[in-house]
A = this chain, B = another copy of it.
Amino acid sequence: MSDDTTLAAFDKAFELVTHVAELMQEALAQRGLTTPKAQVIFALHHEGPQVQRKLSEALRCTPRHVTALIDNLSEAGFVARGPHPTDRRATLVTLTQQGVEAAERMVREREKSAEELLGEVPEDQLKAFIAVADRFIGGQSDE
């Protein structure tokens, strides 16, 4: 059947992964960020201030590492620690003004990049892309 195309599409997905991962890291590095740090900023941006424990779940890393991440981000001025209103063990992490601006800038750049890269692509192609991507994301057994 279309085995060749199937394989080509499969390989292309890996190529895409490599390439996009690289692009993303470069873009973030330019702003002094790494992927997990950006994840923190995004999490705070659209979930609001959060406790570190919650962030560690969102990033799927240890609470200890979140401490380090927040140390780093707060030193760089993106976030700030504050007291939790009811639980005095917890600290509430909030985006600073600079953090909010960074988040918004990244959102705008996402839109700009999407338009630049895919603006001319016909809609049905995009939908096919999404459909195939969902195949990857959907069914899978790691065994």
Contacts and interface: CB of A to CB of B under 8 A. Distances in A.
A61 interface: no
Contact of A118 (B23, B113, B135): B135
Contacts of A127: 5
Contact of A7 (B11, B14, B111): B111
Contacts of A122: 2
Interface residues of A, number: 53
Nearest to A142: B26
Nearest to A135: B117
Nearest to A3: B115
A86 interface: no
Nearest to A126: B9
Contacts of A5: 123, 126-127, 130
A85 to B, nearest CB: 33
A11 B106 CA distance: 13
A74 B134 CA distance: 38
A34 to B, nearest CB: 15
Contact of A117 (B10, B113, B124): B10
A9 B118 contact: yes
Interface of A: 2-3, 5-17, 19-21, 23-24, 26-27, 30, 110-111, 113-119, 121-137, 139-142
